Structure formats: C-alpha cells, structure tokens
Structure 1
Amino acid sequence: MRLNPYSGITKAYCILQAVSLSMPPYTITYFAVRGRCGAMRIMLADQDQEWKENVVAFEDWMKGDLKASCVFGQLPKFEDGDFVLFQSNSILRYLGRKHGAYGKDENEAALIDMMNDGVEDLRVKYLRMIYHEYEAGKDQYIKDLPGHFAKFDAFLSRNKSGFLVGDQISYADYSLFEVLLNHQVLCSSCLDSFPALKAFAKNMASRPKIKAFLDSDDYKKLPINGNGKQ
C-alpha cells in the first residue's frame, strides 16, 4: 500500500475550507442599537447576505482599547475577511459596489452618491435632535420635516422605477428607507403629504427579504438610538 504524504494536509485543508464556507463572510462590530448600522443590515438582508454581529457594551467601549484601534475612534467596524472598513457610508458604498447596487454607469453612481449625501444631511439633523435637542426641539423638527421630505419626493416623482436612481435598487435606497423608518416612528403621519416618498417606503418594506428581516426578533429587539429616544 502506497502512503500519500499529503493526505493529512489535504484533510486538514478540507476541514478548514468547510469551516470557512460555513462562516458568515461579513462581521459588524457595533453597539446593541440600530443606529448607524440600520441601513447596512437592511441592505445585507435584502441582498441575501449573512453576517456576524460583535456587540459592544458601552462600558467596554468606555475602557478605550477598542476605540483606540478604530481609525476615527468610532464604530461601526466592518470586516470582509481580512479587509477592515470604518465609516457607515463608506461601508454602504463598498457593499453597493460589491453587490451591484451602485448604478449602471458613472453618471448613475454620481447621482446615487448625491442622494445619499442628502440622506446623510437629514440623518445628521435627526441625530442632533435625538441626542441634544429632543425635549426642546422635537416639535419644531417635525414641523420642519416637509421642507426636507419635499426634495426627496420630487426626485422620486421623476423616476418611474420607484427607486432613487435608474431602474435598480442602490445603496442610497436602503439608506433613505432606513431614515424614513425612523421618522415614521417619530411621527407616524410624516409621509402622508408625499405620495412618491410614501410609495417608496411601502415598496421597500414589501420586498420579501426586507420584510422578513424587519419582522425578525434580531431587528425588533434593537432600539433605534442609544439614548432610548425615538
């Protein structure tokens, strides 16, 4: 009987390969809130991707070791194998490029970036109100919402596909949808005067994989924001 000197190595390689194939390709390190990871989780779910969550307790974050290892001293941290990325919008763009959600050409990609920048402007206003002006500023913030929503509604009205740009979903659609979900909790009637925006939110919520994710305990158990305001 002839022995194969590489048989043990081959078996070990097969085991490692099987373990690798069974592990989620992505890892998100973040707090136990939806927060800045809301849109990327919805996007990953809709794109039928699996991911692992490393949940960081606030007390551990305050110790400073993890914070010091982050490029800008902030979470989320996103890992794709050995590739590590920070900044939530950069992560969304990366996933958009990787999963075909970044338009069909450079012009569409530029418009998608433009719309996501607009979403980010609104998100920053929302977070400022939630974390710094909730008691004194919530009512005025809700009164000002039509001025913000009208811009997105007008842009959506010009594109009959139901998406922000082109005829296929983009990372900016996930970002806008997640912001709208938060605002509908803040004010349930906030989209009533914006038919295109309301239809957009309804259509996104009805996508089978998004609906399944929004109905899951993993999603429902997470508060929207870290301070409990919504």
Structure 2
Amino acid sequence: MPPYTITYFPVRGRCEAMRMLLADQDQSWKEEVVTMETWPPLKPSCLFRQLPKFQDGDLTLYQSNAILRHLGRSFGLYGKDQKEAALVDMVNDGVEDLRCKYATLIYTNYISFADYNLLDLLRIHQVLNPSCLDAFPLLSAYVARLSARPKIKAFLASPEHVNRPINGNGKQ
C-alpha cells in the first residue's frame, strides 16, 4: 500500500505540484477522489473545511503549501540550511502570489480593455493565416468565446467592421 494518500477533487488544482514532486521522487500514492456528491458530507470533517487532504502514514495535513514544505523536508528539497530554506520559502511565496492572480482571472467574470486588444490582434492573425491558432486550442477558444459575445458578434458582422481594411495594404 502506498505510504501517501491525496484526497482531492478530480482536477489538477492545488495537488498537481505535490503529485509531480512525488512522481519525480519515485514515490507512489493513493488518490481518493472527491466528487460534488461526496464533498458536502466530507467537508465538515476537513480541517479548515477544505481540501487537499494529505496523509503520510499517521500524519494528516491540510493546506497545499504545508504539504509541499513537508514533502520538501522529507526528500531534501528544502535547501541545505536555514538560509536556503528561507530563500525557498520566499520563492514559493512568489509562486503563491502568481497562483492567486491566476485564481482571480479564472474565477472572476470580467473583461478588461486588454482582452479587446488581444482579440483584435488574434483575429488579424487569423485573417493573415487562418490556421495560425490551430495548434493553440486555448487561444482559439478564447477568440471564439469573445467573438461570440452578442454585442461583439454584432459589431464584427457589421458593414463598418467587415468593410474596413486591417491596414493600408488592403487586407480585410
């Protein structure tokens, strides 16, 4: 039986870093997958009422960064001394700052002016080379999603847009 158990939802989320660490250290683990049906009765028993839950033998941990630090200490991945450990903590805190910004982007339903600028540029690329985004499914989906917004869709179909060249070389 594997010495580690990860209890989490069927997504990468907060557990993929620990999975990669364990895999790279040639460790096996068991996954206990939590579904939307099994989560409500499990939630009250979880510390902080959240996942991931990580078991290392008789040690149960919550909080993904605490789990990563535990694994880092266990496998000698936390620096050779206190000074290096402090630097590792600093870098991980920077990563956490980025993760929080990412979470804001994916869980907030808003659109910024930068989205319009990027949409315009990507659509221009598609005019010049219609298959240019084929190898980039997320960008293709982004263009499709924004282009399908009712008011943007109407604008893109309007004669004002359709008949206006991209630039002075006449490309439409």
TM range (shorter): 0.5 to 0.7
Q: 1:125, 1:138 → 2: CA distance?
A: 17
Q: How does 1:191-210 map to 2 (within 5 A)?
A: none
Corresponding residue for residue 54 of structure 1? 32
Find 1:105's aligned residue among 51, 65, 81. 81
Task: Tell me the TM-score normalized by structure 1.
Answer: 0.49
The AA in structure 2 aligned to 1:57 is T
Structure exhibiting the larger radius of gyration computed from Cα positions: 2
Tell me, in whole angstroms, the C-alpha distance in 2 between the residues paired with 1:127 and 1:59. 24
1:227 corresponding residue in structure 2: none
Is 1:119–2:95 an aligned residue pair? yes
Distance in 1 between the 2:12 and 2:57 partners?
A: 23
The whole-number CA distance in structure 1 between the counterparts of 2:15 and 2:42 is: 18
Q: Per the alignment, do residues 40 and 118 of structure 1 end up closer, same or farther by CA in structure 2, a change over 3 Å counting?
A: same
1:31 to 2:6 alignment: no
Name segments (4+ residues, structure 1) moved above 2 Å.
Answer: 137-140, 184-187
CA-to-aligned-CA distance 1:132-170 (integer Å, 9 cap, x gap): 13x525956xx9xxxxxxxxxxxxxxxxxxxxxxxxxxx
Match of 1:129 among 73, 94, 105: 105
1:123 alignment partner, SS class: helix
Q: How big is the alpha-carbon RMSD for the aligned residues of Structure 1 and Structure 2?
A: 2.2
User: Which residue is 2:150 aligned to?
Assistant: none
How many pairs align? 120
The letter of the residue matching 1:71 is L
Return the letter of the residue paired with 1:119: V
In the alignment, is residue 75 of structure 1 matched against residue 75 of structure 2?
A: no
Q: 1:137 to 1:185 in 2, by over 3 A?
A: farther
Write the mapping of 1:2-13 to structure 2, written as runs, cut at 5 A: none
Corresponding residue SS for 1:45:
helix
Distance 1:26 1:101 in 2: 17
| Structure with bigger RCO (C-alpha 8 Å, 6+ apart) | 1
In the TM superposition, what is the alpha-carbon distance from 1:103 to its structure 2 partner? 0.3
Q: How does 1:214-225 map to 2 (within 5 A)?
A: none
1:59 Cα deviation from its structure 2 partner: 2.0
Is the contact between residue 129 and residue 137 of structure 1 (CA under 8 Å) also seen in structure 2?
A: no
TM-aligned CA distance change 1:59 to 1:124, over 3 Å: same
C-alpha spacing 1:185/1:114, structure 2 compared with 1 (3 Å): farther
Tell me the CA shift for residue 58 of structure 1.
1.2
Q: Which runs of 5+ in 1 are unaligned?
A: 1-22, 144-183, 188-230
Aligned residue type for 1:96: G
TM-score (norm 2): 0.65
CA shift in 2, pair 1:76/1:45, >3 Å: same
Gaps of 5+ in 2: 119-135, 140-172
